[in-house]
């Protein structure tokens, strides 16, 4: 007869590997579980696509948890609030075009909503490279985050994807691999990464959605990654642009994959 220890360990191993096996050939591989990546994940999973999000940290949520300067509240504009409400996240209208909301409710709600819609979230996994074949980005090269952090010489595994979304925030790590390592010319003014500009809330928010693009066949960027590629301004703890960027990139990917 199986011991309780064997039952519990066996259940975890079987369930995890079923999830892993089911994600090896994806419709969409999303790198980074920040607000833009999680909104995109929910939209794409709701549309019936096979979606996985790879997040290098133990806790998904990206830059949402800490609010502004660890004051755990953030702000969104009126027109972005319905995106949060669709996740069941509550906002408090200020009556002047903005809403405040609890940043912990936002982070946890976005994670829960993406997962409940059917996206698989792999935490503590880092994407360290991409696959490019016949002029198209078509896969993600993944390793455990501790393997990378401890500089262990361990080879990664590959998840193929019909579309890859760089949602890695300020550094746009995946587009960086595409440009510097794969030598791809992406859809930006120089064909490379322009670099994020300093703080200008109004302009940063105005351009984030416009900066959200298909950069190369199979490769997209959202949120601060998109701003970094196109040379957009940073905007601090206002999140409407991030949410709308996630929604827009999901639409672009859906149109392309269909």
Q: Per-residue contact track with ligand 48H, 188 to 227, x per CB under 6 A?
A: -----------------------------------xxx--
Q: HEC string of 109-174?
A: HHHHHHHHCCCEEEECEEEEEEEEECCEEEEEEEEEHHHHHCCCCCCCEEEEEEEEEECCCCCCHH
> Given the rule CB under 6 A, which of 90-98, 111-119, 165-173, 187-195 is the region that contacts ligand 48H?
165-173
**Token pair of 34, please?**
């920040």
Considering the complex, what minimum distance in angstroms separates the CB of residue 137 from ligand 48H? Answer: 15
Cα–Cα distance, 76 to 84 (Å, whole number): 9
| Binding residues for ligand 48H restricted to 58-77, rule: CB under 6 A | 62-64
| Binding residues for ligand 48H restricted to 105-164, rule: CB under 6 A | 126-127
Considering the complex, what minimum distance in angstroms separates the CB of residue 225 from ligand 48H? Answer: 6
* Residue 168 phi, psi (nearest 5): -85, 5
Cα–Cα distance, 221 to 230 (Å, whole number): 10
Per DSSP bridges, beta strands 92-93 and 98-102 are antiparallel
Asked if 35 interacts with ligand 48H (CB under 6 A), we say yes
> Given the rule CB under 6 A, which of 16-24, 187-195, 229-237, 248-256 is the region that contacts ligand 48H?
229-237
Which residues are at the interface with ligand 48H (CB under 6 A)? 31-37, 54-57, 62-64, 126-127, 167-169, 173, 223-225, 234-236, 242
């Amino acid at each position: 007869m199986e011991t309780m220890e064997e039952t519990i360990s066996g259940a975890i191993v079987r369930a995890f590997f079923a999830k892993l096996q089911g994600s090896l050939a994806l419709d969409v591989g999303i790198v980074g579980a920040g607000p833009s990546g999680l909104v995109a994940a929910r939209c794409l999973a709701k549309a019936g696509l096979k979606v996985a999000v790879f997040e290098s940290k133990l806790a998904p949520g990206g830059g949402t948890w800490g609010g502004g300067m660890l004051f755990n509240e953030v702000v969104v504009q009126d027109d972005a609030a319905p995106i949060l409400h669709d996740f069941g996240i509550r906002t408090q209208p200020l009556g002047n075009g903005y809403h405040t909301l609890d940043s912990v409710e936002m982070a946890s709600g976005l994670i829960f909503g993406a997962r409940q819609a059917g996206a698989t979230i792999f935490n503590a996994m880092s994407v360290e490279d991409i696959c490019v074949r016949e002029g198209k980005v078509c896969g993600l090269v993944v390793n455990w985050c501790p393997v990378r952090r401890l500089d262990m010489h361990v080879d990664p595994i590959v998840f193929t994807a019909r579309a890859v979304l760089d949602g890695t925030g300020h550094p746009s790590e995946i587009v960086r691999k595409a440009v510097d390592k794969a030598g791809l010319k992406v859809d930006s003014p120089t064909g490379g990464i322009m670099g994020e500009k300093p703080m200008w809330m109004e302009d940063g928010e105005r351009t984030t959605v416009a900066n959200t693009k298909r950069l190369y066949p199979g490769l997209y960027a959202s949120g601060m990654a998109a701003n970094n590629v196109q040379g957009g301004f940073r905007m601090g703890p206002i999140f409407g642009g991030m949410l709308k960027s996630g929604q827009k990139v999901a639409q672009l990917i859906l149109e392309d994959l269909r």
